Amino acid sequence: MSKLSGMTGFGRADGAGQGWTWSVEARSVNGRNLEVRFRGPGGFDNLERLAKASGQARFARGQVSIGVQAKRVEAGEAAVTINAAVLARYLTLANELAEDGATPPSADGLLALRGVIEAPEEVDDPEARAALEAALAGTVEQALDALKASREGEGALLKPVLDDFIAHIEALVASAETEASAQVEAIRERFTRRITELAPDAPGLEDRIFLEAAALATKADVREELDRLTAHVAAARQLVASAPAGRKLDFLMQEFMREANTLCSKSATTALTGIGLELKAVVEQLREQVQNVE
């Protein structure tokens, strides 16, 4: 079973080889859907495709940014050669000028002359380029793995928060069930009192009170809403225990709020209305946290 994951995180990995050094940073923030962006050095045409495919294979939601910085290692002293023939020609000319009164040449001045110092030219080797690109892609995967671990760390922190909100909703549903069982009697008493005050001597008053109270009680019956809320609580727990679950939890929050609104509209007692309002507040708090879940 996959771990619950958040959508915010950061990962980094470094690499070197083929005369290059490079670093990869992968970061992500919340997003309704998955969007993988790539920024890297020119000349590695296949790297962007590989990086995006790796990101899409690991994540389901969030805005993921992958940045690659690479540079060629500067040639060391062993890789630099001095062209002795060119240097000798420059030195001969410099000595001739010195005999005519010119300033004698300095060593650093001679070495700075064109052609004296030679560095090996870069060879465009397709196989070497492919190997370098493969190494870069491997480092990208390492950075994405680190990002995934970071997001799972956020998920580990989110899970107990979500569990607490779900438990709070379950407790409110239980309280609503207890209060709803008293609604029928409350409706009957209220209707009896009003009818008796308006028409105390009306014929067939008891039968009318019974029929009208029954009709009102049917309209105020919240058993169906409470059953659905109980089912939603079970579904929420199951989703939090699996991943990715963010999109389904988003939809479930809408269903929670719909049932809470109906519960309030059908309520016939102040106590049940209070429970419904508190339920809406807790569902909204849960919804805000769900926005962070992959």
Annotate the chain with three-state secondary structure.
CCCCCECCEEEEEEEEECCEEEEEEEEEECCCCEEEEEECCCCCCCHHHHHHHHHHHHCCCEEEEEEEEEEECCCCHHHCEECHHHHHHHHHHHHHHHHCCCCCCCHHHHHCCCCCEECCCCCCCHHHHHHHHHHHHHHHHHHHHHHHHHHHHHHHHHHHHHHHHHHHHHHHHHHHHHHHCCHHHHHHHHHHHHHHHHCCCCCCHHHHHHHHHHHHHHHCCCHHHHHHHHHHHHHHHHHHCCCCCHHHHHHHHHHHHHHHHHHHHHCCCHHHHHHHHHHHHHHHHHHHHHCCEC
Has residue 123 got a pLDDT over 50? Answer: no
Q: How confident is the model at residue 184 (pLDDT cuts 50, 70, 90)?
A: low
pTM over 0.85: no
What is the per-residue pLDDT across 200-243, written as a single tens digit (0 to 9) for each? 555 555 555 555 555 555 555 788 899 999 999 999 999 999 88
The confidence score (pLDDT) of residue 208 equals 59
